């Protein structure tokens, strides 16, 4: 089973529509100009100032999970893993910069989740990278100087949910290991989190 075959159809359809949308093209072009001028703060700089980069020596089990996901998902971009202090369960994958993909985990998630659950979370986050969800700069469009048209904003919120759906089941399949508990275990863990 390939990642393309299990991607949510509405995710694909809306992604393609957004990449042709004049408002989104304008925001993408503006971000590109700022990046070329060096006026856009880099994700890595922001992560290094607000979190801890987890080297392989610091977090070998997490890096082994990352290696497994990278191999199974066919990702060629190097990963950097980060942790930040928070009582909330959270993880995020950021748009690649300078040939690197960044994944960030909250400290509570790293403390509470089993290795199998962390593997699923990491696979889910890498699913966003595999499906290039970061090509649609949803945050910049929604929080820009000019508010987007209402129909575009609603479509972006709907697409965001479809993107989450796409990132889930495939990650469990592509990152599974014998005896692994997948999304059900993660969802149960989230329901029981204070």
Distance separating alpha carbons of residues 182 and 41, to the nearest angstrom: 35
Half-sphere exposure of 41 (CA within 13 A, CB side): 7
Rounded to an integer, the average pLDDT of 14-27 is 92
What per-residue confidence (pLDDT) applies to 167? 87
Question: How far is residue 21's CA from residue 29's CA, in Å, rounded to a whole number?
Answer: 12
Top pLDDT among 53 and 74 is at: 53
Q: What is the pLDDT of residue 159?
A: 94
Confidence (pLDDT) at 184: 55
Q: What is the pLDDT of residue 194?
A: 46
Please tell me the predicted confidence (pLDDT) of residue 146: 85
Model confidence at 177: pLDDT above 80: no
Please determine, for residue 83, whether its predicted confidence score (pLDDT) is greater than 90.
yes
Q: State the Cα–Cα distance between residues 92 and 12, nearest whole angstrom.
A: 21
- How high is the mean pLDDT of the chain? 85
Q: Are 75 and 130 in contact (CB under 8 A)?
A: yes
Specify the CATH architecture of the domain 8-191: 2-Layer Sandwich (3.30)
Please give the average per-residue pLDDT across 156-169, as a whole number. 89
| 3-class state of residue 86 by DSSP | coil
With tokens 């962390």, the residue in question is 118
Contact by Cβ (8 Å): 44, 98: yes
Cβ contacts of residue 43 below 8 Å, gap of 6+?
A: 94, 95, 97, 102
* pTM of the entire predicted model: 0.82
Residue 105 has pLDDT above 50, yes or no: yes
Tell me the C-alpha to C-alpha distance, in Å, between residue 188 and each of 1, 51, 192.
26, 27, 6
Higher-confidence residue: 2 or 113?
113
% of residues, the chain, pLDDT over 70: 83
Reported as a single tens digit per residue, the pLDDT across 21-51 is: 999 999 999 888 888 887 766 889 999 999 9
Residue 111 clears pLDDT 50, i.e. is over it? yes
Backbone angles phi, psi at 182, to 5 degrees: -95, -130
Confidence at residue 163, expressed as pLDDT on a 0 to 100 scale: 93
Residues 6+ apart with CB under 8 A from 174: 1, 3, 69, 72, 73, 123
Please say if the pLDDT value at position 78 is more than 50. yes
What does the domain layout of the chain look like in residue ranges? 8-191
Whether the predicted pLDDT of 178 surpasses 70: no
Note the pLDDT of residue 185: 53
Phi, psi of 54 (to 5 degrees): -95, 100
Nearest Cα neighbor of 174 from 35, 69, 94 is 69
């Amino acid at each position: 089973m390939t990642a393309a075959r299990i991607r949510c159809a509405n995710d694909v359809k809306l992604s393609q529509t957004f990449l042709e949308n004049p408002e989104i093209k304008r925001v993408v072009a503006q971000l590109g100009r700022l990046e070329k001028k060096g006026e856009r703060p880099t994700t890595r700089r922001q992560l290094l100032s607000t979190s801890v980069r987890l080297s392989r020596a610091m977090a070998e089990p997490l890096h082994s999970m990352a290696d497994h996901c990278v191999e199974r998902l066919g990702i060629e971009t190097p990963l950097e893993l980060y942790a930040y202090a928070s009582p909330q369960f959270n993880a995020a994958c950021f748009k690649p910069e300078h040939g690197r993909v960044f994944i960030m985990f909250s400290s509570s998630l790293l403390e509470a989740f089993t290795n199998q659950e962390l593997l699923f979370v990491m696979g889910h986050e890498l699913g966003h990278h595999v499906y290039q969800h970061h090509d649609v700069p949803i945050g910049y469009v929604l929080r820009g100087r000019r508010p987007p048209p209402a129909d575009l904003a609603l479509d972006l919120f709907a697409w965001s949910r479809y993107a989450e759906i796409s990132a889930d089941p495939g990650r469990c399949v592509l990152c599974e290991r014998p005896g692994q508990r997948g999304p059900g275990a993660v969802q149960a863990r989230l329901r029981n989190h204070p």
